[in-house]
A and B are shown apart, each in its own frame.
Chain A
Amino acid sequence: MNFWYRYISGYVRVSLEGIAPERFLNLCHNKGYAIWDLRYGREKNTCCMLLQDFLQIRPLARKTGTKVRVLHRYGAPFAMRRHRKRKGAILGITLFFVLLYLMSDHIWAIDVEGNHRYTEDTLLQFVASTGISHGMKRDAVSCEELEKAIRNQYEDITWVSARIDGTRLVVQIKENDTGVSVTAKETEPADLVADFDGRVRSIVTRAGTPMVHVGDQVQKGDVLISGLLTIYDDGGGVAATHEVRADGDIVVEYRTHYERQILRSGSRRVYDREAKRWFAMFGGWRIQLLPFLPVGEREFDRVEETGQLCLLDNFYLPVYYGTVRQRFYRKESFFYTDEQLQALAEYQIYADLSQLENLGVEIIQNNVTITLRENDCICQGELVLWKSIGTYRQISVEEHT
């Protein structure tokens, strides 16, 4: 920092000749002039001082009888004087710093951190809908209001922090990873209701009154375990009614139809040539280092990867750069034999059912059959599945009466 201040202000290395250069140095010191790199010489000492101080030392030098001679000149004022004929370069450098200064007052990047369930695009679209966009002034961004808006819009985002780092707006969020069941209101009385149709296979009640039995058919919205706990007296009359938060495990069985078609023949893309080109974008301007390859009759697609120019850690600028890949392909037709088609269908069914199991569904019965036809293959059948169901709803007295 010190170096840059000195360089921009300009400084000189001077030689000090006289009977008592120390006296001259002390006078400079008393006046507050900065002196550094003082080196001893047999005939004369040398030191560095700022240009602005050097212009004021004449009376001190005269008073102490010290001859001060400039040995070297350093810094921006001298460099500008030396290159004064190169007006374009000086204008360009000046313009660069002016632009840099002007752009440092705006937001040029918006980042979202800590998101898992919500995609970055979704959150950025919401941020844009609150009126915050790239290029707007930093002062116009109210981080508190943005935090409030995000909290109001997304109930399962439990913590939001928006801050401005340089020219970047960073929105940090924390989602509720533990699911809906653990919330601030989890102790409130509630019914456990069905969120899926099916036949009850098992029910374990931990709190509340069970309303269904094993074998019952339930529809979406039916109360499975009631939050009303009725206490009966010895005579069979209702002694008291307590409201609790219903709790239990209910597994239902349901049937679903599975169907998938796999074509025996078709065409696919085979990529055989690729060209990579660097580009830079500023506003509406786009500069590309090399032109694209001639296309001719060939088919191709383009894949673009973009980054943003960033000075230091957080000084993002509205300059984007990246690569664009031009990938040429030819369409190649394929035809599966019966064996290939059978294997492909089996693999596809396995992948689909694995995906179901990952969602917490247990597959009890699998009646999917593979039928090979002339042009395609049909995989279809009934699946019998077990699934754990139940969601909370406020206790409604009407349903129980």
Chain B
Amino acid sequence: MNLERWERRSAEYVSDHLDLPEDALLQTMSIHLIGSRMMIVENFRNLLEYTDLLIRVQGKEGRLRIEGRCLCIREYHQETIRITGYIRQISFEQRHGSAGKDGT
């Protein structure tokens, strides 16, 4: 078991048993959705792709795929990214690139 995996598993264990927020311990992406017009993503690593129809964001655990139209990045800060537009679908991509289950 490599160190990264061990760290993740122990963090999951602590999070489950002590009822602590996972995003703080595991540094996973935290997504706040306000209706279908605004979205705030925290704990992301970088931006993979940006068009007005699709935005892909890289997180520690995987990738986030946001589809819609007239998508615009209102804020692109060190810790948060704020996206506005008509959000149609949010999904997670696995590490190998295939689209995963829908997030919402």
Interface size on A, residues (CB 8 A): 16
B residues near A21, Cβ cutoff 8 Å: 50
Chain A, Cβ-Cβ closest to B49: A22
B49 touches A38 (CB 8 A): no
A32 on interface, CB distance cutoff 8 Å: yes
B33 on interface, CB distance cutoff 8 Å: no
A residues near B48, Cβ cutoff 8 Å: 22
B residues near A47, Cβ cutoff 8 Å: 73, 76
A36 touches B75 (CB 8 A): yes
Give chain B's interface residue range (CB within 8 Å of chain A).
10 to 19
A40 touches B72 (CB 8 A): yes
Bound Cα distance from A40 to B83, whole angstroms: 12
B residues near A36, Cβ cutoff 8 Å: 73-76
B78 touches A22 (CB 8 A): no
Interface string of B72-86 (1 = CB under 8 A from A): 111111100000000
B residues near A30, Cβ cutoff 8 Å: 46
Bound Cα distance from A192 to B21, whole angstroms: 71
Would you call the interface of chain B mostly helix, strand, loop, or mixed?
A: strand
Bound Cα distance from A29 to B73, whole angstroms: 13
A26 touches B46 (CB 8 A): yes
Bound Cα distance from A38 to B85, whole angstroms: 12
The one of B46, B51, B75, B77 that contacts A40, using a Cβ cutoff of 8 Å: B51
Taking the nearest CB of chain A, how far is it from the CB of B31, in angstroms?
Answer: 18
Binding site for A on B (CB under 8 A): 46-52, 71-78
Binding site for B on A (CB under 8 A): 21-22, 25-26, 29-30, 32, 34-40, 45, 47
9 contacts between A and B (CB under 8 A): A22-B49, A25-B47, A29-B76, A32-B78, A34-B77, A36-B74, A38-B76, A40-B52, A40-B72
Which 5 pairs across A and B sit closest by C-beta, in order of nearness? A38-B73, A40-B52, A26-B46, A35-B76, A36-B75
